[in-house]
Structure 1
């Protein structure tokens, strides 16, 4: 006995809509961030970032004229690693 039925056309339409929305979201993501966008993403001011990791040679950045640009995907990966390292350092200092 079948207690419910699935409207396959409606399900297909909903899936296509979800895929389209995700594709649009990805297309709107920025490739490079400005200092202000980096500050917003990291939730840190540039002065704090300069003290903590900005001058690390592994931190992804480049300068065009007088302005810094940051490749978004590489910065996200760097900050993931950096934040995990900070967590581990804090755990070690508590021991």
Structure 2
């Protein structure tokens, strides 16, 4: 005879971890993101994102009505190049 016991809290923890993983994969597959998602992606406040990126004409952005949209892959490429340049210049970013 086989006896199985489950720890409900551990099962819930495993379930939530799996849901988070799948949500992250889904989020990464989104082609366009909005300003809120961009701020979350960069871990920066909206004013900082606006000063450093959105109002920069070289930043890959588009305006649809009143909403800013960004191609996720283009943003990732831009941020990678930008961060390399920042580190080459000493790693300090002034956003005042």
TM-score w.r.t. structure 2 length?
0.62
Runs of 5+ in structure 2 lacking a partner? 1-24, 92-96
Tell me how far apart the structure 2 counterparts of residues 34 and 27 of structure 1 sit (CA, whole Å). 12
- Give the structure 1 partner of residue 45 of structure 2: 45
Q: Deviations over 1:13-62 (max 9, x none)?
A: xxxxxxxxxxxx47961000011110111111121122223222220000
Aligned-pair Cα RMSD in Å: 2.0
> Are 1:87 and 2:82 counterparts?
no
**Aligned positions, number:** 67
Written as runs of structure 1 = structure 2, the 5 A alignment for 1:1-95 is 25=25, 29-90=29-90
Q: Which has the larger radius of gyration?
A: 1
Greater share of helix residues, 1 or 2? 1
TM-score w.r.t. structure 1 length?
0.62
Runs of 5+ in structure 1 lacking a partner? 1-24
